[in-house]
């Protein structure tokens, strides 16, 4: 198994172009995320955010003949996909839908060890795995829900259970694709606190969102994506401006800062 190098950039992509159905859905993207960085990726619907994440998880592959192409993750070019998924904890809305089964929170988190949906008799579940699951549930403050069904807890709690599932392998980075979709204000508030706690615990947070309010204070860098290209990349304070967001979304947008958080109005 590839052991990640903690000092190497988590992501070092250069000249990444992905073509699907004869269209460049990612167009010459270069993006380097340092070992200690937390970033937010923002862009309109269809701009290529999820596709970029899929290049990170090796679900999408860039065209191989691009000059200077590099797709290093934690210093390595070549990854076994199973090893890679242990290092990159991923939470998507699709996963939330897939995991909403009549299964307990505990088993949902445990299933992260097997990259499965549900737990089956053939799995070799160890005591150590169970201890890790309980520790993570405690860390995220949902241990009291361990034996509740995923279908009987709130959307915010279910989202935390998925984060717990992504953490079982102690990944280097946590990738969140639109994590607060369909959560109410209280759940969003609690969710942000959880992500802040994980960021402070030393995991890279890579957040894909439409909502500036998801950008936790620990995130200092923002990347804007438009039409498969990087439109702007830099310090949060410099990138999150009304002018940039107006150009990015093609509508008048006003960005305001409230304490350590941002909000956009259109
Ligand atoms: N497998 C595929 N085959 C064909 N087209 C694809 C494929 N995957 C993505 N696309 C197209 O690439 C573009 C970018 O899609 P992507 O899902 O990356 O955008 P996004 O920024 O994540 O959008 P959203 O905010 O709506 O989730 C879209 O036009 C999408 O239809």
Measured in Å, residue 51 CA sits from the centre of ligand 1 at 6
Is 22 touching ligand 1 by the criterion CB < 6 Å? Answer: no
Please tell me the total count of domains within the chain: 1
The parent domain of residue 212 ranges over 11-265
- CA dist., res. 247 & res. 264, Å (int): 13
Is 2 contained in some domain? Answer: no
Measured in Å, residue 124 CA sits from the centre of ligand 1 at 37
What's residue 91's pLDDT? 86
Q: Show the beta-strand stretches assigned E in 21-169.
A: 23-33, 39-42, 70-73, 88-91
pLDDT per position as a tens digit, 246-258:
999 999 999 999 9
Is 29 contained in some domain? Answer: yes
Is 1 contained in some domain? Answer: no
Is 4 contained in some domain? Answer: no
Q: Which residue in 61, 8, 50 sits closest to 33, CA to CA?
A: 8
- pTM passes above 0.90: yes
Instruction: Decide: 143 and 106 in contact? Cβ < 8 Å.
Output: no
Match 């701009």 to its residue by tokens: 47
Question: Atom 17 of ligand 1 has which residue's CA nearest to it?
Answer: 50
| CATH number of the domain that residue 45 is part of | 3.40.50.300
Is 77 contained in some domain? Answer: yes
- CA dist., res. 54 & res. 57, Å (int): 5
Six-digit token pair at 143?
């241990």
HSE (side-chain half, CA atoms, 13 Å) at 203: 26
Is 135 contained in some domain? Answer: yes
- CA dist., res. 82 & res. 169, Å (int): 11
Question: Atom 24 of ligand 1 has which residue's CA nearest to it?
Answer: 45
Is 43 touching ligand 1 by the criterion CB < 6 Å? Answer: yes
Is 88 contained in some domain? Answer: yes
Q: Which residue in 259, 225, 217 sits closest to 244, CA to CA?
A: 225
| DSSP label at residue 124 | -
Q: Which of 119-123, 129-133, 171-175, 252-256 has the lowest mean pLDDT?
A: 119-123
ipTM here: 0.98
pLDDT per position as a tens digit, 2-36:
566 778 999 999 999 999 999 999 999 999 999 88
Ligand 1 site-directed mutation target among 29, 47, 175, most atoms within 8 Å of CB: 47
Is 65 contained in some domain? Answer: yes
HSE (side-chain half, CA atoms, 13 Å) at 210: 13
Measured in Å, residue 81 CA sits from the centre of ligand 1 at 21
Phi, psi of 67 (to 5 degrees): -70, 130
């Amino acid at each position: 198994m590839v052991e990640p190098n903690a000092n190497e950039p988590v992501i070092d992509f250069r000249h990444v172009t992905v073509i699907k159905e004869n269209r460049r859905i990612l167009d010459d993207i270069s993006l380097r995320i340092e070992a200690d960085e937390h970033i937010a990726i923002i862009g309109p619907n269809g701009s290529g955010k999820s596709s970029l994440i899929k290049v990170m998880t090796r679900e999408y592959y860039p065209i191989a003949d691009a000059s200077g192409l590099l797709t290093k993750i934690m210093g390595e070019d070549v990854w076994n996909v199973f090893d890679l998924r242990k290092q990159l904890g991923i939470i998507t809305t699709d996963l939330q839908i897939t995991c909403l089964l009549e299964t307990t929170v505990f088993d949902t988190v445990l299933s992260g060890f097997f990259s499965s949906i549900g737990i089956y008799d053939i799995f070799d579940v160890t005591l150590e795995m169970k201890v890790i699951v309980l520790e993570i549930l405690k860390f995220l403050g949902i241990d009291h829900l361990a034996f509740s069904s995923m279908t009987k807890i709130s959307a915010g709690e279910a989202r935390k259970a998925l984060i717990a599932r992504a953490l079982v392998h102690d990944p280097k980075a946590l990738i969140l694709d639109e994590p607060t979709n369909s959560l109410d204000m209280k759940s969003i508030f609690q969710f942000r606190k959880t992500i802040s706690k994980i960021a402070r615990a030393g995991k890279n947070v890579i957040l894909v969102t439409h909502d500036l309010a998801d950008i936790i204070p620990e995130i200092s860098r923002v990347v804007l994506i438009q039409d498969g290209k990087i439109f702007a990349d830099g310090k949060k304070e410099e990138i999150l401006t009304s002018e940039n967001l107006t150009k990015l979304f093609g509508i008048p947008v006003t960005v305001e800062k409230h304490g350590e958080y941002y909000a956009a109005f259109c």
